[in-house]
Structure 1
Amino acid sequence: MSKSTMKNLFYKSLRSKKIAITVVSLTLFVTVISLVLFEGTKKSITLDVNGEELNIKTHAHTVGKLLSEQEIKVAKHDLVIPSVNTPIEDGLSVRWEQSQQVAINVDQEITSVWTTDYKVEDVLAEAGIEVTEDDVVKPELHEQLGKDNSITVQKAFDITLNDGGEEKNIRTTSTTVADFLKRENIHLNDDDRLNRKAEGYLKPGSIVAIVRVEKVTDVVEEPANFAVETRNDPSLLKGREKVVQAGKKGTVSRKFEIVKENGKEVSRKLLEEKKIKNPQTKIVSIGSKVMVASTMSTNSKAGRSVSRGNSGAPAGGKEFFVTATAYTAGCNGCSGITRTGINLRANPNLKVIAVDPKVIPLGSKVWVEGYGYAVAGDTGGAIKGKKIDLHVPTKNEAYKFGRRQVKVKIID
């Protein structure tokens, strides 16, 4: 090969390289210009994804296309603002919040809702569930949903509490008596009683009644009654009594256990008794002496022996007027034995009068106008106050005597 040929080949190769470089340079230039023009025509968008803000540029024509570019799959309950069909404009702000399924348990009834809210209060409001300040909500209303995406609501209900007789209405979410007492900070003593078992269930309208039982001891000093001892006294007329020794009450100390329910005493038990001062026995002598009454003359007649005058009246003694009647030992219902033990049937002529012992003491010796000396030895059901009944031998004499005002003197 000649030198000229080799030279021609060299220049030809050099021209080819220059052409190739020029083509590559032009292509690169066009590409750069195209890229610059492409990027320059993108629109700037602010995209909020579940609270995380992104600044992006896009050629997407709609919000839906934009989310697709970002590989975001929009579900039925997701929140997209503005809507997916909204055209993209430069400077547009787009918010997407992914929905989540939340289980809401209201008194053991479970419902599910789809929501984009995270605050418990907002989720319940979206689900149309109303709560009051007495309801128990977990998590609490101001808190965010937990990882398990669940909310528990215990609705409060009304019950009646009677504590020691004091009654009031209370709203509670407790389902057992024990839990209710714990939440209300109610303490029971060992002797207190509940109307329900502690493990018993509560429902609206239930009544919880507590009987407060209190046991206390009380020491009191009380009078101790004295005994009464009777002794027969043959020197004392029958029917009379005489106090030989007055009775005096003693003192005894008694210790009681008192049980109170709701503040009222229901039982009292004697635990201990001590004598502080012994009582003094009252001693009474009972007369056993049978009196001997004077006899009435069989020849005298009561009707003509009675006189309105004072002839034969003894001196001294307590004197007063009484209403007098007469009776016999054989009257209807009469036993013939006087209150002081005199047998009038065996001694029909004895002068005995029936008296009210509060006016004329039994056993007293008396003088009766028109009757003479006698003994107050009997009583009668109708003889009350200033009335006397004179014993006479026969019914005829009793009828004749009738009813009269006479003077009486108590001699002894």
Structure 2
Amino acid sequence: MRIISKLLPASKLKLVISSIGILALVLFSSMVIFEATKVNVVVTDNGMEETVKTHQNTVGELLTELDIVVGEHDALSHGLDEEIQNGMAIDYKTAKEITVTIDNTSRTYFTTKDTVEEFLEEQNFSLTDNDDISHKDADKLADGTHIDIIKAFEIIINDGGNEKKAHTTGKSVEELLKENNIKIDDNDKVEPSLNEDVTADTKITVIRVDIEEEKITDKIAFETETKQDNSLPKGEQKVVTEGKEGETARTYKVTLENGVEVNRELIDEEVTEESVNKVVAIGTKEPEANLVTLSSSSGNSDSSGKTITMTASAFTATCSGCSGYTATGINLKSNPNMKVIAVDPNVIPLGTKVWIEGYGEAIAGDTGGHIIGNRIDVHVPNKSEAYNWGVRKVKVKILD
């Protein structure tokens, strides 16, 4: 200013100073007017809000001014060609790249959603509670997030014969049973094994094994003993001791599979009561005189002995209720072909050897309630032969 004042006269200096002041005022006024004509716009960039004053005409121009590049998948609340209005609120979100792998198949998505749950709903993923997903619903999404999904499949579990459906993503058999509240006892059988991984083709079978102890009481049959007694007339018998059944207690280990017995093992046996054998005395005392009186309808006799005509029926030791033992202690069940006849001891003494027409030689070894007088009963091995014999008249020869 001092230089200018030296060069110019005072009048001209005043003119210059006035011009500069006017120019400055014009510039200041222009700036005020420029600022005053700007519009206010609220811009939210990925959650960060900023109020912007601008002379830009369109949303796109404003975003360019703010160095915001809108990508193909980004979210923008207004069109890029929309005119700017005072008080306008513009919301912009950058899209995030998300990779989703479902059962080993991957696909890339772009989203402006904030959480996993919002993203899955946006893409209409059909998921169930049994599916496995690598993230929780509330997890925040970031660019490059990788979400793994394993879809559950249905299998059938046969639990002790009862079938139930279950869903799994391929855990072990043991884990799947626990998830479905199926408890396994030490004795139970599981197919396949508990540590085997479950696939869509797996069929799980649980065999319920129960091991129980069972006690059973059985009767012990008594035996019949015979002994000779010379105080009794020959052929007579007398029960000396009545027989009595004994008792035994057996303990078994019983194995049941799904309620069905599959094995029985004897683990203990105890005789709780001994049996008592029946004792029968058989008389061996010879009669003092031969009381046999034989009358022969034929009147024939020879040196071999006397002959008498008698009525003969047949019997077998296998009849219902028969003991198989004769009055003289012969076991006919053990000797089914033995020739024995039942007689009236007052006619033919027990122990006498005889010959019977149509039957052969035999021994008088038994008695019978209906065998009285001139009547005998011949022993045959079975009922069929007894029926064939029927009742007939025969000649009986005394041999000794």
Q: TM-score, normalised by structure 2?
A: 0.70
Could you tell me whether the CA contact under 8 Å between 1:99 and 1:115 is conserved in 2? yes
Could you tell me whether the CA contact under 8 Å between 1:226 and 1:282 is conserved in 2? no
Could you tell me whether the CA contact under 8 Å between 2:96 and 2:143 is conserved in 1? no
Could you tell me whether the CA contact under 8 Å between 1:227 and 1:281 is conserved in 2? yes
Whether 1:127 and 2:123 are equivalent positions in the alignment is: yes
Deviation at 1:275, TM superposition (A): 3.2
Map 1:305-324; keep pairs closer than 5 Å: none
Deviation at 1:343, TM superposition (A): 5.0
Q: CA RMSD in A?
A: 4.4
Q: Give the letter for the 2:177 counterpart.
A: L
Deviation at 1:45, TM superposition (A): 1.4
Structure 1 equivalent of residue 163 of structure 2: 167
Whether 1:225 and 2:232 are equivalent positions in the alignment is: no
Q: Give the letter for the 2:298 counterpart.
A: N
Could you tell me whether the CA contact under 8 Å between 1:296 and 1:350 is conserved in 2? no
Q: For residue 366 of structure 1, give the secondary structure of its aligned residue in structure 2.
A: coil
Whether 1:366 and 2:372 are equivalent positions in the alignment is: yes
1:155 to 151, 158, 181: 151
Distance 2:69 2:341 in 1: 126
1:391 to 391, 394, 397: 394
Whether 1:191 and 2:193 are equivalent positions in the alignment is: no
Q: TM-score, normalised by structure 1?
A: 0.68
Give the direction of change, closer, same or farther, for the CA distance of 1:96–1:353 in structure 2 (3 Å limit): same
Distance 2:229 2:74 in 1: 123
Distance 1:217 1:337 in 2: 52
Q: Give the letter for the 1:54 counterpart.
A: E
Gaps (5+ residues) in structure 2? 301-307, 315-336, 343-350
Whether 1:42 and 2:48 are equivalent positions in the alignment is: no
Q: Deviations over 1:19-39 (max 9, x none)?
A: 554444333322322221112
Gaps (5+ residues) in structure 1? 1-8, 307-323, 328-334, 368-372, 395-412
Q: Deviations over 1:280-317 (max 9, x none)?
A: 2334567899999765637349xxx99xxxxxxxxxxx
Q: For residue 127 of structure 2, give the secondary structure of its aligned residue in structure 1.
A: coil
Deviation at 1:351, TM superposition (A): 12
Whether 1:33 and 2:29 are equivalent positions in the alignment is: yes
Structure 2 equivalent of residue 410 of structure 1: none
Whether 1:108 and 2:114 are equivalent positions in the alignment is: no
Map 1:289-300; keep pairs closer than 5 Å: 297=296, 299-300=298-299
Distance 1:285 1:23 in 2: 170
Deviation at 1:273, TM superposition (A): 2.6
Distance 1:159 1:349 in 2: 80
Structure 2 equivalent of residue 312 of structure 1: none
Q: Deviations over 1:339-359 (max 9, x none)?
A: 4686544899999999xx9xx
Distance 2:132 2:142 in 1: 16
Give the direction of change, closer, same or farther, for the CA distance of 1:180–1:339 in structure 2 (3 Å limit): same
Structure 2 equivalent of residue 403 of structure 1: none
Give the direction of change, closer, same or farther, for the CA distance of 1:203–1:342 in structure 2 (3 Å limit): farther
Distance 1:336 1:276 in 2: 39
Distance 1:375 1:157 in 2: 88
Q: Aligned residues, how many?
A: 349
Q: For residue 340 of structure 2, give the secondary structure of its aligned residue in structure 1.
A: coil
Q: Give the letter for the 1:338 counterpart.
A: V
Give the direction of change, closer, same or farther, for the CA distance of 1:65–1:286 in structure 2 (3 Å limit): farther
Distance 2:175 2:94 in 1: 40
Distance 2:206 2:93 in 1: 54
Map 1:334-353; keep pairs closer than 5 Å: 337-339=339-341, 344-345=354-355
Distance 1:42 1:173 in 2: 61
Give the direction of change, closer, same or farther, for the CA distance of 1:259–1:131 in structure 2 (3 Å limit): same
